[in-house]
Amino acid sequence: MLDLIIKRFEQPDEVREHEKGRFELITIAGLTIGRATYEPGWRWREHVGALTGTLLCEVEHVGLVLQGRALVQMTDGREVEMRPGDLFYVGPQHDSWVIGDERYVSLHFLGADVYAK
């Protein structure tokens, strides 16, 4: 039995790519962690939803923004901007998109295993 495991996103266990975006997954100690990297102009509805056949993201997320900014829009019209250093919970039924000209990067601790499939 191993008591120490080291993994890096430079060698993920799985990669899910789509236009303007990349979602890398690492499974460690029974937990799947995702790293989302989205280019300026990325929008969930256009670049992931079009692949999954849904208008809104159905996954709930707990994560941490590392770089860039994104806007999340809930079905009731609320919009919240996420910035570097923000820990977030976003429930199902939302859209999101990159704000500005900087790449957006975040880690996902909940929902990564089923996101962007």
What residue ranges do the domains of the chain occupy? 14-110
Q: How far is CA 104 from the centre of its chain?
A: 9
The Cβ of residue 19 has, within 10 Å, a number of other Cβ atoms equal to 12
Question: Which pLDDT score is estimated for 2?
Answer: 67
Question: Tokens 């941490």 sit at which residue?
Answer: 64
Q: Which CATH number fits domain 14-110: 2.60.120.10, 2.60.120.260, 3.10.20.30, 1.20.1250.20?
A: 2.60.120.10
Local structure of 16: helix, strand or coil: strand
Is residue 24 within 8 A of residue 51, CB to CB? The reply is no
Is residue 94 within 8 A of residue 106, CB to CB? The reply is no
Per-residue pLDDT 10s for the chain (117 aa) are 668 999 999 999 999 999 999 999 999 999 999 999 999 999 999 999 988 889 999 999 999 999 999 999 999 999 999 999 999 999 999 999 999 999 999 999 999 999 988
